[in-house]
Amino acid sequence: MILKSKNLIALFAALFLLLLGIQAYFMYKTYQVKEREIYRDVHSRLTRFTDNLDDKGGVKKVSDDSLQYIIIQFNNKKINKKKFLSLFEQNRKSTQDHFSKYVDHQFKNQGYEVAVKIQYLSIVFLPTKTNLIDQPITLFETKNKVVKAGITNTGNWETSSKSTSDDEKKTIRNNSFQVKSKTEFEILNIKSIVFRELTLLFLCCIALLTSVLILYIFTVKNLIQQQKQVEVLHTVVDNISHEFKTPIATLKIASKALKKEWNPETLPLIERQINRLENLMVQLHKDETPEEILSIQPEDWNFFVQDLAFTYSETEFELTGKVSEELPFDKNLMETLIKNLCENSVKYGASHVKVNISNSSQNLKIEVSDNGCGIEKKELHHIFEKFYRIQSNNIHNTKGLGLGLYFVKKIITKYRGSIEVSSRPKAGTTFKISIPYEN
């Protein structure tokens, strides 16, 4: 049983970890899909912008010369490389503010922080296949710098024009160039944006995992508790079988006494022990036996104490007070109440137990006091709990399952009564019970 439970717990744990992994993978993939979706939207809008950059007023001329003219001038060696690069740098700086404002405006409503950089990777003069640059030239760049590009686009395009040489022949030149460009996009706050848009989904996934985990913990605790109850059930069965031994032993003693000498008090004793055995059988088969309530008679209180005195001959039992009328209480329950309290006193070292019974028109009062070892104050709040037993240094010194006082409390609760307990260690314990009834 224990091995099977451990296997179930291990299986449950493995399935939970599998579910956790699936959920984590699902959230990760969802994050990636959402990130790509946002980048596609940004890329589409920025591509339309950069493809028509001149029309947007991004840049038309630099120092009154077009970019194409600057390239032709450099190719024809009219300007040196340093001047050529500086003109492009001036272009980048002069357009940066306008370019950044336009990009920020495009995505202001979405709250995106977008960085863009457009570069020329190569400028090839087609007639001679000569590359005019040996490193990328930044043409446009936002104030937000691209750290790690989310999307990179490359493109090739050709531009051509005709120009007249300055020599005497006035030769017309064909200026054809192939330009390779690269555009990089990055959304700097992409993580916060994705998490913000997927917050509800993430919370639902976390709530689902938490619920499964709580259910798992609750199931494990319940399983452990059920195992303990099964163990206790076996112990209860053993204890009930032990309870059968007492009346059986008493019957044997009474039978031997009858063989030796006739005693008119022995037969009622035998009858009461047989009734006790029947009551124990009823407790075992309570759901199968119709409930029959026997009201308690005035003489029954004496019989309870007499049976206790016969069973525990080394303990002195004293019955005081008097009840002279039939009371509307179940005789079996009252017997269980009295005997459990008195047997509890005997278990904890009492040599003298006093039972006082009295009644009025409204209440039955029962007081059981002893001179036993007493109960510590810290234990008084727990003595009526099921299976609880008083222990010293974590060791149980008395036999039993801790059910006696639990049954006493249950009977009193059934009749809507009350019970008070007072005790002093090494001096004794007193239980005071009051049960209401209508006369």
Residue 352 predicted with pLDDT over 90: yes
Q: Between vectors from CA 90 to CA 84 and to CA 95, what angle results, nearest 5°?
A: 135
Residue 355: the pLDDT is: 95
User: What per-residue confidence (pLDDT) applies to 292?
Assistant: 61
Q: Please give the residue that has the higher pLDDT: either 311 or 199.
A: 199
CATH top class, domain 293-436: alpha beta
What is the bridge-based pairing of β-strands 316-321 and 352-359? Answer: parallel
Q: Provide the pLDDT confidence category of residue 429 given band limits of 50, 70 and 90.
A: very high
**pTM for this model (two decimals):** 0.46
What is the tens place of the pLDDT at every residue in 296-309?
899 989 988 988 88
Least confident range from 100-104, 111-115, 225-229, 361-365: namely: 225-229
Q: Which stretch, 68-82, 171-185, 379-393, 419-433, has highest mean pLDDT? A: 419-433
- Three state DSSP letters for the chain: CHHHHHHHHHHHHHHHHHHHHHHHHHHHHHHHHHHHHHHHHHHHHHHHHHHCCCCCCCCCCECCECHHHHHHHHHCCCCCHHHHHHHHHHHHHHHHHHHHHHHHHHCCCCCCCEEEEEEEEEEEECCCCEECCCCCEEEEECCCCCCCCCEEEEEEEEEEEEEECCCCCCCEEEEEEEEEEEEEEEECCHHHHHHHHCHHHHHHHHHHHHHHHHHHHHHHHHHHHHHHHHHHHHHHHHHHHHHHHHHHHHHHHHHHHHHHCCCCCHHHHHHHHHHHHHHHHHHHCCCCCCCCCCEECCCHHHHHHHHHHHHCCCCEEEEEECCCCCEEEEHHHHHHHHHHHHHHHHHCCCCEEEEEEEECCCEEEEEEEECCCCCCHHHCCCCCCCCCCCCECCECCCCCCCCHHHHHHHHHHHCCCEEEEEEECCCEEEEEEEEECCC
How high is the pLDDT of residue 273? 73
State yes or no: pLDDT of 420 exceeds 90: yes
Q: What is the pLDDT of residue 170?
A: 56
Give the model's confidence band at 165: pLDDT under 50 very low, under 70 low, under 90 confident, else very high.
low
Q: 369 - beta bridge partners?
A: 354, 430
Structure tokens at 325: 């009328």
Select the highest-mean-pLDDT range: 158-167, 260-269, 310-319, 416-425: 416-425
Q: What is the pLDDT of residues 137-147, one digit of tens each?
A: 888 889 889 88
Report the pLDDT value the prediction gives residue 430, as an integer from 0 to 100. 94
- Where are the domains positioned within the chain? 19-165+172-197, 293-436
Q: Strands 130-131 and 114-125, how do they pair?
A: antiparallel
C-alpha closest to that of 325 among 354, 366, 355, 364: 364
